[in-house]
């Protein structure tokens, strides 16, 4: 929806136009105290550097779980704790550039070990804790992961696939007081029990030294590992400061899971590179619980997702008004399009709008955004972040479009500090993202006469459910493992809260008949193998699926039917 409403800019950091006109990345480099040719290690930037600024006693982390258990860490405690992880991993044989997976819930150990891996010079591989064994194995196999850090709650998933991971040397369980419960190749590590490590010389990473390996879903084939570098902190730092408007007195809450890129780029790196106190909640969504946390901790900056905002809307303004949310001063959204209604509702409810921001796993940082100091047009993604050149390009020729309102692919001019430097073991896939001097996002948008971007949709079959991208190939592969399934196709179907959810079209093998029980059985079958996000919310049993004459299932035909869109050219369909 395009809204005619414009929300005037309110900011104390200057106008967007002024910043964009004169910006150069050297602004961020100077603030970080970095010069070309110097080493730069994200782990040290987020801990040691902050302590050297005299902020060691400042609170870095306010953590609470769904049972009310709390933990607090100052920046000096964070520095020592990350040193503990770095030293321990070094002692068990982790070397620079080894891949170390972090597979935990939103507990302090996730955030601390992530930075410890980077201090050591390892490549951190964060993974979503709800992943099932099949989602895990493909990512760990592809990365040749050497060590996995996990908890007793999740170690069983790794045990199921251990025989398929010959390069996984060690599983470190971080909450196991009874080592008799561990199996061969597993060790216990306790952050609290480990001896303090006051000094750890961070690995002298260079700007292009690999740092983080984030896996993202694709239309075909296995998930792709987007490789990032230590120099990405230059952009993550300045975008967190300017877009999230982080300042020295803020309490910041990023609701994203650290298994996804938002939860690391802005739930770890961007916040702590700015020396900001952040609150982290390890619990599920609840409007009541979230409002209580904001009031309890005096949250000032809130970075969340449209799905969560729509759930807050569902529960009504009156619930929000029962809580003291006066500490909030800036709200930002990410992960999927933020509809105009949500922006307007936010302003009416909290007295300020949610500012939409747009970026991808591959971009590493925010690239298009509504920015403090810019008028907000509800429903728009905003404008390119200073230092980013963004256009929409023709869907076929990939040439820039100058006509306002015409839909094309969002394209970004390389290179910027946080862009991925490759897909792990997939050079062709990486180069396919670039054409005619542009990085092609795979997302469609238009630009209005004033330079505001308006999101239209994805250009491929990847499903965006609740802000998380789910690849149809993985879902279809899991479906085909079920004894009853002959053929399958997974597409997105509209959903009021999540924008879209997974719908599976299935043909059955002889001897099986459609039923509610079979539908539920197949749903749970996928859920256990992949994750709750990948589980089909709807299953439609069919006698045939649309295919090309060569036998390829045409997902776009099914998706068009779900969304009421034109089916397009079907001349290649069999029996057309």
Question: DSSP letter string over 531-572?
Answer: -GGGS-SEEEE-S---BBTTS-B-HHHHHHHHHT------TT
Return the structure tokens found at 274. 């700015």
DSSP state of 162: G
pLDDT at residue 13 greater than cutoff 50: yes
Q: What percent of the chain has pLDDT over 90?
A: 78
pLDDT band at 1 (very low <50, low <70, confident <90, very high): very low
As a residue count, the chain comes to: 576
For residue 312, how many C-alpha atoms fall within 13 Å in the half-sphere facing its CB?
Answer: 23
SS3 329: coil
- Residues 531-543 pLDDT 10s: 998 999 999 999 9
H helix runs in 121-255, sequence order: 133-143, 155-161, 233-242
Buried b or exposed e, range 362-371, using 16+ CB within 10 angstroms: bbbbbbbbbb
H helix runs in 122-190, sequence order: 133-143, 155-161
Please check whether residue 252 is in contact with residue 279, taking contact to mean a CB–CB distance below 8 angstroms.
Answer: yes
pLDDT band at 550 (very low <50, low <70, confident <90, very high): low
- Point out the least confidently predicted range of 61-65, 445-449, 541-545, 551-555: 551-555
Task: Give the model's pLDDT for residue 267.
Answer: 98
Fold: same for 16-445 and 463-563: no
Q: Which residues contact 10 (CB under 8 A, 6 or more apart)?
A: 352, 372
Please check whether residue 438 is in contact with residue 418, taking contact to mean a CB–CB distance below 8 angstroms.
Answer: no
Task: Give the model's pLDDT for residue 14.
Answer: 67
Burial label, 318 (beta-carbon count in 10 A; 0-12, 13-18, 19+): exposed
For residue 163, how many C-alpha atoms fall within 13 Å in the half-sphere facing its CB?
Answer: 1
Buried b or exposed e, range 186-202, using 16+ CB within 10 angstroms: bebbebeeeeebeebeb
Task: Give the model's pLDDT for residue 551.
Answer: 65
pLDDT band at 219 (very low <50, low <70, confident <90, very high): low
pLDDT at residue 574 greater than cutoff 60: no
Q: Which fold has domain 463-563?
A: GMP Synthetase; Chain A, domain 3 (3.30.300)
Task: Give the model's pLDDT for residue 572.
Answer: 45
Q: What is the mean pLDDT of residues 173-181?
A: 94
- Point out the least confidently predicted range of 106-110, 340-344, 420-424, 549-553: 549-553
Q: What is the mean pLDDT of residues 554-576?
A: 71
Q: What is the mean pLDDT of residues 104-112?
A: 98
306-315 and 340-350 helices, crossing angle to 10°: 60
Q: What is the mean pLDDT of residues 311-322?
A: 94
pLDDT at residue 576 greater than cutoff 80: no
pLDDT at residue 466 greater than cutoff 50: yes
pLDDT band at 8 (very low <50, low <70, confident <90, very high): low
Closest CA to 145 of 215, 207, 192: 215
CA angle 88, 265, 454 (to 5 degrees): 165
Return the structure tokens found at 164. 């398929």
Please check whether residue 442 is in contact with residue 409, taking contact to mean a CB–CB distance below 8 angstroms.
Answer: yes
pLDDT band at 553 (very low <50, low <70, confident <90, very high): confident
What is the CB neighbour count within 10 angstroms for residue 509? 11
Q: How many whole angstroms separate alpha carbon 355 and alpha carbon 370?
A: 5
- Residues 186-204 pLDDT 10s: 999 999 999 999 999 999 9
Task: Give the model's pLDDT for residue 200.
Answer: 98
pLDDT at residue 169 greater than cutoff 90: yes
Closest CA to 256 of 241, 243, 266, 244: 266
pTM metric for this prediction:
0.89
Q: Which residues contact 26 (CB under 8 A, 6 or more apart)?
A: none
Q: How many whole angstroms separate alpha carbon 93 and alpha carbon 159?
A: 21
pLDDT at residue 367 greater than cutoff 50: yes
pLDDT band at 498 (very low <50, low <70, confident <90, very high): confident
Q: What is the mean pLDDT of the chain?
A: 92
Return the structure tokens found at 140. 């760990």
Q: Which fold has domain 16-445?
A: Rossmann fold (3.40.50)
* In the chain, where the domains are located: 16-445, 463-563
Query: In this structure, are strands 438-447 and 453-458 parallel, antiparallel, or unpaired?
Result: antiparallel
Q: How many whole angstroms separate alpha carbon 284 and alpha carbon 25?
A: 38
Q: What is the mean pLDDT of residues 151-160?
A: 97
Return the structure tokens found at 488. 């399958």
Measure Cα distances from 500 to 306, 466, 491 in Å. Answer: 12, 7, 9
- Residues 507-516 pLDDT 10s: 999 999 999 9
Q: What is the mean pLDDT of residues 314-343?
A: 93
């Amino acid at each position: 929806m395009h809204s005619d409403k414009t929300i005037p800019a309110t900011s104390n950091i200057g106008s967007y136009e002024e910043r964009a006109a004169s910006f150069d990345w050297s602004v961020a480099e100077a603030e970080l105290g970095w010069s070309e040719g110097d080493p730069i290690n994200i782990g040290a930037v987020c801990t040691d550097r902050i302590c050297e600024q005299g902020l060691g006693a400042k609170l870095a982390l306010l953590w609470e779980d769904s049972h009310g258990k709390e933990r607090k860490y100052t920046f000096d405690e964070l520095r020592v704790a990350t040193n503990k992880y770095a030293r321990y991993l070094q002692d068990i044989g982790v070397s620079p550039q080894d891949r170390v997976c972090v597979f935990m819930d939103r507990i302090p150990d996730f955030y601390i070990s992530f930075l410890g891996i980077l201090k050591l010079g390892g490549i951190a591989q964060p993974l979503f804790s709800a992943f099932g064994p099949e989602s895990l194995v493909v990512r760990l196999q592809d990365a040749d992961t050497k060590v996995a850090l996990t908890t007793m709650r999740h170690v069983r998933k790794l045990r199921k696939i251990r025989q398929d991971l010959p390069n996984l040397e060690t599983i470190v369980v971080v909450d196991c007081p009874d080592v008799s419960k561990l199996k061969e190749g597993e060790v216990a590590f306790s952050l609290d029990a480990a001896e303090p490590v006051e000094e750890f010389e961070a690995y002298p990473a260079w700007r292009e030294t690999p740092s983080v390996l984030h896996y993202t879903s694709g239309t075909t084939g296995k998930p792709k590992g987007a490789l990032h570098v230590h120099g990405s902190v230059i952009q993550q730092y300045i975008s967190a400061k300017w877009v999230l408007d982080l300042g020295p007195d803020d309490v910041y809450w990023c609701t994203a899971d650290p298994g996804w890129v938002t939860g690391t780029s802005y739930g770890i790196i961007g916040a702590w590179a700015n020396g900001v106190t952040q609150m982290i909640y390890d619990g599920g969504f609840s409007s009541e619980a979230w409002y209580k946390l904001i009031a309890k901790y005096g949250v000032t900056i809130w970075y969340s997702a449209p799905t969560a905002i729509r759930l807050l809307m569902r529960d009504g303004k009156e619930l929000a008004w029962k809580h003291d949310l006066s500490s909030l001063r800036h709200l930002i959204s990410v992960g999927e399009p933020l509809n105009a209604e949500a922006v307007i509702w936010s302003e009416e409810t909290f007295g300020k709008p949610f500012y939409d921001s747009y970026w991808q796993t591959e971009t590493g940082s925010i690239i298009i955004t509504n920015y403090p100091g810019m008028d907000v047009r509800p429903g728009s993604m905003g404008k390119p972040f200073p230092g980013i050149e963004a256009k929409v390009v023709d869907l076929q020729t990939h040439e820039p479009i100058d006509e306002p309102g015409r839909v094309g692919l969002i394209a970004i001019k390389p290179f910027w500090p946080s862009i991925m430097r490759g897909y792990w073991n997939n050079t062709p896939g990486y180069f396919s993202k670039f054409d005619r001097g542009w990085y092609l996002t795979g997302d469609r948008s238009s630009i209005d006469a004033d330079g505001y971007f308006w999101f239209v949709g994805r250009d491929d079959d990847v499903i965006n459910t609740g802000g998380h991208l789910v690849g149809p190939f993985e879902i279809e592969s899991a479906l085909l493992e079920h004894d009853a399934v002959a053929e399958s196709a997974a597409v997105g179907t509209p959903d009021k809260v999540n924008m879209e959810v997974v719908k599976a079209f299935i043909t059955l093998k002889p001897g099986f008949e459609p039923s509610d029980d079979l539908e539920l059985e197949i749903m749970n079958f996928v859920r256990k193998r992949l994750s709750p996000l990948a589980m089909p919310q709807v299953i439609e049993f069919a006698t045939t699926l649309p295919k090309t004459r060569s036998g390829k299932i045409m997902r776009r035909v099914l998706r068009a039917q779900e969304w009421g869109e034109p089916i397009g050219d079907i001349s290649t369909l069999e029996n057309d």
